[in-house]
Structure 1
Amino acid sequence: MDRLENTVRPYAWGSTTALPELLGTPPTGEPQAELWMGAHPGAPSRVERATGTVSLLDAVSADPEGELGERTVRAFGPRLPFLLKLLAAASPLSLQVHPDLAQAAEGYADEEERGVPLDAPHRNYKDTNHKPELICALTPFDGLCGFRAADDAAALLDGLDVGGLKPYVDILHARPESDALREVLSAVLTADKDEMAETVAQATAAAERLAEEEPSGTLTAGRIAEYAVYAGIARHYPGDPGVIAAMLLNHVHLRPGEALFLGAGVPHAYLDGLGVEIMANSDNVLRCGLTPKHVDVPELLRIVRFEPTEPAILRPEADSDEEELYETPVDEFRLSRYVLAPGAGSHPLDAGAPQILLCTAGQAVLRDTDNGAELTLDRGGSAFVPAGERVHVSGDGTLFRATVAV
């Protein structure tokens, strides 16, 4: 078992207080957006080994099968296939989508053939992998996920009573649903910048007004709350066409312990809150708005799945050993949690694959069943357990377990 030393990423959208409060560190006054746990080259965790402190990336590279196990290496190659994060959002992240495996491979090969540098700001594909992800709320958490039904999107836009939105409303009513969503998103992202900025300003003012209304007729309490969410997004990104694109998506509110899985082709954005996030080890992101970064509209339209969806909120299912699993359809990662109680005994953790363990409340005690060594994780503490090490966990708190599903 190795206690992890992790890096905090100071992205502008991050909270100045949420991560310091969880980690028990003093706030710096600057945003602290993400704490990375894993072997991603961008910010690998560090572990203490016999030769001194090394990055987990270097440790895995030096002995892939020893750290990851033969099954994991056979399935995913000689790298840790997931990245675990603590994510603390105080303002909206960019509206984005991720490719599937085939799209990622095709896009990467195309950009390589065209000689697009890996660090170019207009590069879409940094690797050949897909990037499914799961966010589990530690506090009330808000996000956007998947397209609304076309009629619902039309009703939300129409309720703003903004002239510049009327053509989109007509398309959403007149065309087959998938075609309508594609046409409207494309039109929003390719519109004249000045005209769109004016439309966004008018839509923002209308949303702010409607957010203050009392429920009546078709203006339900739920719709009023949605207008408040979109008005909040617009205040962070004035004039951004992504504000209108965001209105095509479902607003999702997670309570602590609830989670949301985001697969390939599903547009999404996190808005506010603290959560545990796990994802496949990839940097492939195509942006749809709410960002000053590059938006590649033709490639985005190739990747996005224009299918209305009802976001499925995940709640953990407990097994006989009280491991609570968040079920997802991918193999690169598996996220579960233990709610530990004093006197409840210890729980054995399967030793067949690499694991990262994260304590988010109270205290967790890890014990190596082969040599009796113990490691205590306080709130915010994390550890890496190589494949093959048999560990039991006990304590008084909440422990998240990240591993692979092989």
Structure 2
Amino acid sequence: MEPLVNTVRPYAWGSTTALPGLLGVAPDGRPQAELWMGAHPGAPSLVRRPEGDLPLDAVIEAAPAAELGDAVLRRFGARLPFLLKLLAADAPLSLQVHPDLAQAAVGFRIENAAAVPLDAPHRNYRDDNHKPEMVVALGEFEGLCGFRTPGECAGLLSALRVAGLDPHCVALRTHPEEEEALRAVFSAFLAPSPALVAAVAEAVAREARSDGPHQKDFALYDRVARAHPGDAGLLAALMLRTVRLAPGEGLFLGAGVPHAYVRGLAVEIMAASDNVLRCGLTAKHVDTAELLRVVRFDAPPVRVVRPAPDGPEEVYPAPVDDFRLSRVRVAEGGPAVVLDATAPHILVCTRGRVRLSGPRGVVPLGAGGSAYAPAGERVAVDGDGELYRATVDTGAPRARVDASIHPYSEAP
């Protein structure tokens, strides 16, 4: 087990204060959007070792069986299958969707055959992997996720009283098939006239200041419109459900579900993939035909994910095996929590101060600090704080309370 040195990604939508506030450092005035923890080649964490800082992807490449364990190596190959982040949004991210495994494999193969460079701005598939993800709020968190039902969409759009939306409201209310109704209107909203976008933005701003039944939702959409003036993605965004998470609540996003994070600080975990198809709220490439092939046009209710006890851990259930996310809370004077794993794990402190004890020494972590442990390495956690652990669920025992390990004792 060793501490990590991580990269902050300065995307324009990032907060200038949230991550510095968590880390206890002074803001520098620039947006700080994401703190990456993992072995993603775009910004691999550095593992702090006596001989120097080494990129985690290089550490794994040098000894994949020892670092990943046999089960992960067989299932995912010689790579860490997840990426963990601290995400701090102060403006809406792009409206986007991710492919499933089959779609990613086909898309990647087609673009390779067409000799589209991996770094080309118009490329859709940068790898052959899916990108399921989960976000867990560390404070109040807002986003958009999944379609409203056709009837709910029509009701919201009608409240704007924009004549150009009337045909779409009729289609939503009268089409006999829910999926086809959503597909038809969403497709039209990907290329609306600038005049319609302007009229809708003006109506959204008006309704955000009203006391109507949709005021709270329109306030969120108004935030989207102001962050992306003139962007056609506003109309597509209006078809999506608004989501507000309280601290500790999560949201799982599977393949084909359109979504956009709007504001807040969160832990995010995802399969290690760069495959994103954008629907709007961005200056980046939007491939309408491929997007419509990937989007799922159904409208199930948004399910807020809450953690379930698993020994001393609280696990956020997810229907994928690329990652497993859990929360561990320890208190001063309480028993240590011992984390066992046949897979590698990354631990990040999000509140207070904790101490990690392992066979190779002790790593103290304050808020925002993180550490990496290879497969099979047992870690004892004590102190007074909260941390999140990212690993891979291989079906092996994972955690227990060990009262024989006194807080701040030497590593077992």
Smaller-chain TM-score bracket: over 0.9
CA distance in 1, matches of 2:357, 2:48: 17
| Residue 247 of structure 1: aligned partner | 238
| Residue 187 of structure 1: aligned partner | 188
8 A Cα contact 1:357 1:384, kept in partner: yes
Matches within 5 A, 1:352-367: 352-367=342-357
| Residue 28 of structure 2: aligned partner | 28
Q: TM-score, normalised by structure 1?
A: 0.95
Q: Deviations over 1:45-90 (max 9, x none)?
A: 0012353211001101111111111111111100000000000000
The CA deviation at 1:198 is: 1.6
| Residue 407 of structure 2: aligned partner | none
CA distance in 2, matches of 1:299, 1:211: 33
Q: Which moved more, 1:113-122 or 1:33-42?
A: 113-122
% identical equivalent positions:
57
| Residue 315 of structure 1: aligned partner | 306
CA distance in 2, matches of 1:198, 1:350: 59
Q: Does 1:343 align with 2:333?
A: yes
CA distance in 2, matches of 1:118, 1:381: 32
Matches within 5 A, 1:2-401: 2-175=2-175, 176-191=177-192, 196-214=193-211, 219-220=212-213, 223-319=214-310, 321-368=311-358, 370=359, 373-401=361-389
The aligned amino acid for 1:8 is V
Q: Deviations over 1:258-304 (max 9, x none)?
A: 00000000000000000000000000000000001110000000000
8 A Cα contact 1:200 1:238, kept in partner: no
| Residue 405 of structure 1: aligned partner | 393
The CA deviation at 1:37 is: 0.2
Q: Secondary structure at the match of 2:286?
A: coil
CA distance in 2, matches of 1:228, 1:400: 32
Structure 2's unaligned 5+ residue stretches are 395-412
The aligned amino acid for 1:43 is A
Q: Deviations over 1:3-56 (max 9, x none)?
A: 000000000000000001111222110100000000000000001235321100
CA distance in 2, matches of 1:305, 1:141: 24
CA distance in 1, matches of 2:90, 2:151: 31
Q: Which moved more, 1:348-357 or 1:280-289?
A: 348-357
CA distance in 2, matches of 1:48, 1:64: 18
CA distance in 1, matches of 2:8, 2:234: 28
The aligned amino acid for 2:392 is V
The aligned amino acid for 1:87 is L
8 A Cα contact 1:38 1:82, kept in partner: yes
CA distance in 2, matches of 1:61, 1:340: 34
CA distance in 2, matches of 1:187, 1:292: 19
The CA deviation at 1:167 is: 1.6
Q: Deviations over 1:183-224 (max 9, x none)?
A: 111111133xxxx2221221122122222222xxxx32xx11
Q: TM-score, normalised by structure 2?
A: 0.94
Equivalenced residue count is 393
8 A Cα contact 1:330 1:405, kept in partner: no
CA distance in 1, matches of 2:189, 2:328: 45
Q: Which moved more, 1:289-298 or 1:339-348?
A: 339-348
8 A Cα contact 2:355 2:383, kept in partner: yes
Q: Secondary structure at the match of 1:71?
A: helix
CA distance in 2, matches of 1:345, 1:323: 13
8 A Cα contact 2:69 2:343, kept in partner: yes
Q: Deviations over 1:73-117 (max 9, x none)?
A: 111100000000000000000000000000000000011111111
The aligned amino acid for 2:314 is E
Q: Secondary structure at the match of 1:4?
A: strand
CA distance in 2, matches of 1:256, 1:158: 33
Structure 1 stretches of 4+ with a deviation exceeding 4 A read none
The aligned amino acid for 1:305 is R
Q: Secondary structure at the match of 1:190?
A: coil
Structural RMSD (CA): 1.0
The CA deviation at 1:322 is: 2.1
Q: Secondary structure at the match of 1:78?
A: coil
Structure 1's unaligned 5+ residue stretches are none
CA distance in 2, matches of 1:384, 1:42: 18
CA distance in 2, matches of 1:376, 1:236: 39
8 A Cα contact 2:330 2:337, kept in partner: no
Q: Secondary structure at the match of 2:190?
A: helix
The aligned amino acid for 2:155 is A
